[in-house]
Structure 1
Amino acid sequence: MTFEIVLVLLGLVGMVAALILDKMRPGIVLLSLVVLFMVAGIITPKQMVAGFSNRGMITVALLFLVSEGIRQSGALSAVVKKLLPEKGTSVTKAQLRILPIVSAFSAFLNNTPVVVIFAPILKNWSKRVGLSCTKFLIPLSYATILGGLCTLIGTSTNLVVHGMMIDKGMEGLKMFDLAYIGIPITVAGLAFIILTSKKLLPAERPDNFEEEESETAEDTGRHVVEVVLASRFPGLKRKLKTFDFKRRYGAEVKEIRQNGQVITDNLGEVRLQEGDTLVLLADDAFTKTWGDSSVFLMMTNGQEIPTNPVPSWKKWTAFALLIIMIVGATIGELPYFQEHFPNVKMDMFFFAAVTAVVMAWLKMFPPKKYTKYISWDILITIACAFAISAAMEESGLAALIADFIKSVSGSLGAWGALGLLYLVTLLITELITNNAAAALAFPLALETAAKFGVDPMPFFIAICIAASAGFATPIGYQTNLIVQGAGNYKFTDFVKVGLPMDLIVMIISVGLIPLIWPFTPII
């Protein structure tokens, strides 16, 4: 192996280790690696910054704003409340009503706001009707992941692969290309969840703190509130006692749920992490002040979090804009429009940009605060992943791994290589981040297809699915992390349901993808 291959390989191993140890945000980890590759001369400065101007990456940023506009319009909340029966229901019946709708929404919206909106509503509703919220929160997260597999904009991972295809001079993915494989996977996945989650998921674990404090807190005007820490929370990586949460937010931390553990003793020594759920004793002023803050991903207190009333026209306008964006991006790819409007590429980027700007003009989200609704760490991670992908190609590491994949697949040929690439991508997703997994797998997909002399499209579709379908661990996908604390789940709860889900999705994907996108020889 050459010096360049060894350096890139060691850099990737170090990157994975750093992401697993979670000492720094993923964006700065990947940025550090990219700078190292640039200093070593493996990539040029132009290659280093190319990802920051990629249409796929910028489309992700615009869709953050579109999703926020939908969220603040109250349209999703209104829909889910009408779906939830107030009496005479069961876990299975309720899941049948809720989960397909959740998947449908997440096919066109960022998964995180869908979970952030639905989770508190489901948790409060389940208490009212006497059902366990643990039977709904993991299924909620999984339903959003499944829905995201069905469209180009369902998850940022799909847009990353789309952007990389365009960079290579290819046409890229159309809005509903992934639906051919995504819909069968979603149907099978939802069926598995509805049939098995009642037995595989735990009953709601008693929260002694809430029961004890709810009675004594009434006299003081305080009540129990749960918050999930976001990436913008200023106290991440700091001990609770040095951050002084009570002085900053006027609420007292009584319990911390971290990595599946419930911590009630020595709270001051706990280092706060993104995704932690804090159980607080707070007054009404806390929920009014921080209910819509970007420092918390989610907040629930057993009742509706107070928000400013939203005019009904905003709800309908938000839905209308979303539909126009989806339909416009779909028909804009048709040959008729490409022929008659050759100077305007009416793709997803075009309509996402228009929709985001119109939402800002109509104040669907506060235009003066628009930057706080964009997850900059995710964007930096995506942009740097493009550069890391280039380093893998330039060094020859991607070709070397592709040779290994081809030799291991043996008599199974391209089909076996597809399954192996899917498995590798899935493992990276479960360990680190989905966007990084897609970017790292892309050059492997390209080189593997070249080794077999076939169209790379089946391999691209496989990494789209594998990089998004992380069910077996709470760290595999942000929505899993959100519901872990909210539902007081243990790590093993995700394994029990998620590992079979991973296997089901993998079998369907590897079995169907070559039938839908054949291994067409390239002459």
Structure 2
Amino acid sequence: MSSMITVAISIILLILLSIFSRISHALLFSITTLTFYCLGFVSQETLLQSTVNNAVVSLIMLMVASLALERTRVLTLASRFIYKGSYHYSLFRLGFLSCVISGFLNNTAVVATLMGSIVKNRQIPASKLLIPLSYFAMLGGSLTLIGTSTNLIVNGLLISQGLPELSFFSFTPVGIALCIFVGGTIILLTRFLPTRIDTDDQNDFFIEATVLPHSKLIDKTISGNKLRSLNALFLAEIIRDEQLISPVSPCEIIQANDKLLFCGDITDLNQLKRLNGLAFFAEESGLSTQNLQQVIVRADSILVNKTLKSTHFRSQFDAAVVAIQRNGERLSGKLGEQYINAGDKLIVATGNDFIKRKNVERNFISITPAIKDEQLEPWQEALTILGFLAVLTGAALHIFSLFSGLLFFIIALLMSNILDGATIRRRFPFGIWVIVSCSLCIATVFVKSGLANYLSQQLMQHIGHYSPIVALAIIIIITMFITEVITNNAAAALVLPIAIATAQNLDVSTLPFIMAVAYGASGSFISPYGYQTNLMVMNAGNYRFSDFIKIGWGVSIAYFVVIWLFTPLIFPF
């Protein structure tokens, strides 16, 4: 009993810290797993097996293989067929394309590519398309075994517990229902999305420039230097000798070492460069503003709740921040003293080593690459696409395992110079590997300690006189809630043991409960921080948290209802 209490306290702390602290999820899961190992709850053998679990390694290889697919023109060509006809017809095409492609490719890559096309289009406001894009990509992940990491992890947990594994298309029937009915709900609810035109949103970037001692701007007024007539840029504040001057009068005289704080469109940065004697915050770090990249700060980034100066940004990433955008919020004060929030969009000036730093991918979601990969040769592109299709076909028809197919596919990519070791090392999903491996260990302890069965029995005491359909509804709700507040993989690992124990106590098939957990863990529609594609589109569409709530609650209800009704129809009790 004492071991069960210890496990319960550890898991509760894990959940609370994941919600309320800024400690990275990878570190939290590592500490919890190490605690269980030191207490003897998990053996060395189990620890190693979780790290090299077939499903875990297959997931990592799938993400590595997707790096090659990102270099092909599949997503770029697909994006050209979105904007035709009316808004709702374009939305339907976007939903169809993103659902189908996300069933086979990494949905982060799908959203990143289509997002660029959506932001650039001038036919439909990006704010009317970006949240639906993220939601459609999530729905597409429910179509196949490889559509989302959650499905692979659930399959890995089943194998580790000696239960029958799921097939490649086990998820497809209910996944199609989700795409149709929840996708239709998304289209209906888009009326609640804001319409924000680019020209209304240009004041979101926050840019700092220092007046150098030799500048010709010195001793002239704001209006005399024509700082009031800049295109799409507005001088919001001046910091002089640690004193903030705001609002700035047109008659204010510029002095040496003044820090000028502008709000505006980063694409018009060149007009500031043409002004004599201005140095940007990035240039103070010794970096040129010639090579700029847009990145979004991840929710579990080490930068969150820290100032730019305190993070030693230049030494960590070989980059310096030029501008910050925060969902329409007007920032104030020195750029280096701004506290970074999850979801902030940063314009960074990059050095030569930026592309090689491993921690870049762990802290940022890249919107525009600092160095674009060279275009593949036609034969390389054909090899990548046909090879990936061959892997999927062979795995689906059980000609060979997904693991074997991906292994040979990646070797072929390396031998043909489509991928190289440097790219794999730089973009290796180490954080995901840690979280998933630790989740498997925690799930094992959850079961062996008896805690999963105990919680299931407590659940049975309250719903014992109801049918299994009620228990299934409760399992789905719990899974969807944990997904919103932590991560999809953690939700699957924590709820699956309870779901299996509940089915066994009810003396019904475990399969509908297993599938319900897999589907439930893939739906995060209310919080922009629960799923990284939501975080990606949040800043690109200049959304606020309330925008996700307005549409997300309805989508979540529809998502729940479809899983609850269709899962027992396809997978009977």
Fold shared per TM-score above 0.5:
yes
Quote the residue 2:383 is aligned against. Answer: 317
The 1:392–1:147 alpha-carbon spacing in structure 2 relative to 1, beyond 3 Å, is same
Q: What is the CA–CA distance in structure 2 between the aligned matches of 1:65 and 1:424, rounded to whole Å? A: 32
Bigger shift: 288-297 or 163-172?
Answer: 288-297
Quote the residue 2:503 is aligned against. Answer: 449
The counterpart of 2:447, out of the listed 393, 397, 412, is 393
Quote the residue 1:340 is aligned against. Answer: none
Q: What SS is found at the alignment partner of 1:365?
A: coil
The aligned amino acid for 1:220 is K
Bigger shift: 460-469 or 24-33?
Answer: 24-33
The 1:22–1:277 alpha-carbon spacing in structure 2 relative to 1, beyond 3 Å, is farther
Q: What is the CA–CA distance in structure 1 between the aligned matches of 2:352 and 2:110, rounded to whole Å? A: 20
1:414 to 2:468 alignment: yes
Quote the residue 1:342 is aligned against. Answer: none
> Does the aligned pair in 1 maintain the 2:140–2:147 contact within 8 Å?
yes
The 1:244–1:121 alpha-carbon spacing in structure 2 relative to 1, beyond 3 Å, is farther
Quote the residue 1:50 is aligned against. Answer: 49
The aligned amino acid for 2:30 is L
Q: What is the CA–CA distance in structure 1 between the aligned matches of 2:533 and 2:7, rounded to whole Å? A: 31
Quote the residue 1:83 is aligned against. Answer: 81
The aligned amino acid for 1:64 is M
The 1:320–1:241 alpha-carbon spacing in structure 2 relative to 1, beyond 3 Å, is same
The aligned amino acid for 1:404 is Q
Shift of 1:262: 5.7
Percent of pairs with identical residues = 26
Quote the residue 1:133 is aligned against. Answer: 126
Q: What SS is found at the alignment partner of 2:524?
A: coil
Task: Note the alpha carbon deviations across 1:2-57, whole angstroms, 9 max, x for none.
Answer: 21121111111110111113432211101111111222222222223331121111
Shift of 1:450: 1.1
1:207 to 2:205 alignment: no
Q: What is the CA–CA distance in structure 2 between the aligned matches of 1:291 and 1:367, rounded to whole Å? A: 11
Shift of 1:399: 0.8
The 1:250–1:313 alpha-carbon spacing in structure 2 relative to 1, beyond 3 Å, is same
Shift of 1:353: 2.0
Q: What SS is found at the alignment partner of 2:340?
A: coil
Quote the residue 2:238 is aligned against. Answer: none
The 1:296–1:388 alpha-carbon spacing in structure 2 relative to 1, beyond 3 Å, is closer
> Does the aligned pair in 1 maintain the 2:201–2:542 contact within 8 Å?
no
> Does the aligned pair in 2 maintain the 1:405–1:420 contact within 8 Å?
no
The aligned amino acid for 1:100 is F
Q: What is the CA–CA distance in structure 1 between the aligned matches of 2:422 and 2:549, rounded to whole Å? A: 42
Shift of 1:429: 0.5
Shift of 1:77: 1.7
The counterpart of 1:431, out of the listed 479, 485, 491, is 485
The aligned amino acid for 2:181 is A
> Does the aligned pair in 2 maintain the 1:406–1:413 contact within 8 Å?
no
What is the 5 A alignment of 1:205-284? 206-208=201-203, 211-212=232-233, 213=265, 214-215=267-268, 217-218=270-271, 220=273, 226-229=294-297, 235=303, 238-243=306-311, 245=313, 252-257=321-326, 263-272=331-340, 275-279=343-347
The aligned amino acid for 1:426 is M
Which structure has the larger Rg? 2
The counterpart of 2:88, out of the listed 65, 87, 92, is 92
The aligned amino acid for 1:40 is L
Gaps of 5+ in 1: 338-345
Quote the residue 1:194 is aligned against. Answer: 187
Task: Note the alpha carbon deviations across 1:92-118, whole angstroms, 9 max, x for none.
Answer: 222122221111111011111111222
The counterpart of 2:568, out of the listed 514, 517, 520, is 514
The 1:231–1:357 alpha-carbon spacing in structure 2 relative to 1, beyond 3 Å, is farther
Quote the residue 1:341 is aligned against. Answer: none
The 1:215–1:229 alpha-carbon spacing in structure 2 relative to 1, beyond 3 Å, is closer
> Does the aligned pair in 1 maintain the 2:134–2:537 contact within 8 Å?
yes
The 1:152–1:42 alpha-carbon spacing in structure 2 relative to 1, beyond 3 Å, is same
Q: With the length of structure 1 as denominator, give the TM-score of the two structures.
A: 0.87
Q: What SS is found at the alignment partner of 2:521?
A: helix
Quote the residue 1:150 is aligned against. Answer: 143
> Does the aligned pair in 2 maintain the 1:254–1:264 contact within 8 Å?
no
Quote the residue 1:5 is aligned against. Answer: 4
Task: Note the alpha carbon deviations across 1:331-374, whole angstroms, 9 max, x for none.
Answer: 11xxxx5xxxxxxxx22222222222222222222233312222
Task: Note the alpha carbon deviations across 1:493-513, whole angstroms, 9 max, x for none.
Answer: 111111111110111111111
The 1:290–1:30 alpha-carbon spacing in structure 2 relative to 1, beyond 3 Å, is closer
> Does the aligned pair in 1 maintain the 2:136–2:183 contact within 8 Å?
yes
Gaps of 5+ in 2: 206-231, 234-264, 275-288
Shift of 1:255: 2.4
Quote the residue 1:163 is aligned against. Answer: 156
> Does the aligned pair in 2 maintain the 1:255–1:264 contact within 8 Å?
no
The aligned amino acid for 2:94 is I
Shift of 1:89: 4.3
The aligned amino acid for 1:193 is I
> Does the aligned pair in 1 maintain the 2:103–2:141 contact within 8 Å?
yes
Q: What SS is found at the alignment partner of 2:36?
A: helix
Quote the residue 1:349 is aligned against. Answer: 403
Quote the residue 1:403 is aligned against. Answer: 457
The aligned amino acid for 1:184 is A
> Does the aligned pair in 1 maintain the 2:504–2:510 contact within 8 Å?
yes
The aligned amino acid for 2:505 is K
The aligned amino acid for 1:104 is V
1:109 to 2:108 alignment: no
Shift of 1:417: 0.8
> Does the aligned pair in 2 maintain the 1:43–1:394 contact within 8 Å?
no
Bigger shift: 198-207 or 213-222?
Answer: 213-222
Q: With the length of structure 2 as denominator, give the TM-score of the two structures.
A: 0.79
The 1:39–1:252 alpha-carbon spacing in structure 2 relative to 1, beyond 3 Å, is closer
> Does the aligned pair in 2 maintain the 1:237–1:272 contact within 8 Å?
yes
Q: What is the CA–CA distance in structure 2 between the aligned matches of 1:425 and 1:62, rounded to whole Å? A: 26
The aligned amino acid for 1:217 is N
Task: Note the alpha carbon deviations across 1:44-72, whole angstroms, 9 max, x for none.
Answer: 22223331121111111001111111002
What is the 5 A alignment of 1:371-386? 371-386=425-440
> Does the aligned pair in 2 maintain the 1:201–1:497 contact within 8 Å?
no
Shift of 1:172: 0.7
Count of residue correspondences = 494
